[in-house]
Each structure stands twice: as structure tokens, then as C-alpha cells.
Amino acid sequence: MKIKILGTGCDKCEKLEANVKEVLSTLGIEARVDKVEDLVQIMKYGIMTTPGLVVDEKVVSYGKVLKPKDIAKILENYR
């Protein structure tokens, strides 16, 4: 699984990244987590607000900091 956090470097993006990492370790999922901070790259995903969450190149959420339980639900679908 490949996960990307889209964010220009604000607190919310940091928080989302931390939540994602927490869920990955709780569920024992092996995944690569990358941060995308470049404005152009972020906008290429077509999102209007950050932070964005991308799983296997699909935007699964944007504009909010997902709670760990919501992230877990999403990630279960990609296992």
C-alpha cells in the first residue's frame, strides 16, 4: 500500500500524518507513507483544501484531519 499525505506544511497536515502512522502500526499494515508538500503536485490531485490523504494514488479524503478510526475504516478497504 502506498499512502501520501498532501499538505503545504501546516499543523493539520502533521496531525493527519501522525494519525495515519498510528493506525498503520495499530493495524500492523505495511505501507509506505510519503509527504507531498509541493504546491503543483498537490494541486494535480485536484483537491481544494489540505490536508489530503491519498491511498494507492486515489484521493480518499481532503480538507479534514481524519480521526484514527476513520482512517482505519478507509485503510481496511485497501488491504
Residues engaged in binding another protein (CB under 8 A): 7-14, 39-40, 42-43, 47-51
13 counts as catalytic: yes
**Running DSSP on this structure, what letter comes out for residue 64?**
S
Pairing state of beta strands 32-36 and 2-6?
parallel
Query: Cβ of residue 77: shortest distance to another protein, in angstroms?
Result: 26
10 counts as catalytic: yes
Using DSSP, state whether 7 is helix, strand or coil. Answer: coil
Query: Cβ of residue 38: shortest distance to another protein, in angstroms?
Result: 9
Annotated catalytic residue within 5, 6, 13, 72: 13
The Cα–Cα gap between 16 and 63 comes to: 11
CB count in 10 Å sphere of residue 54: 20
Query: Cβ of residue 54: shortest distance to another protein, in angstroms?
Result: 15
Residues with a known catalytic role: 10, 13
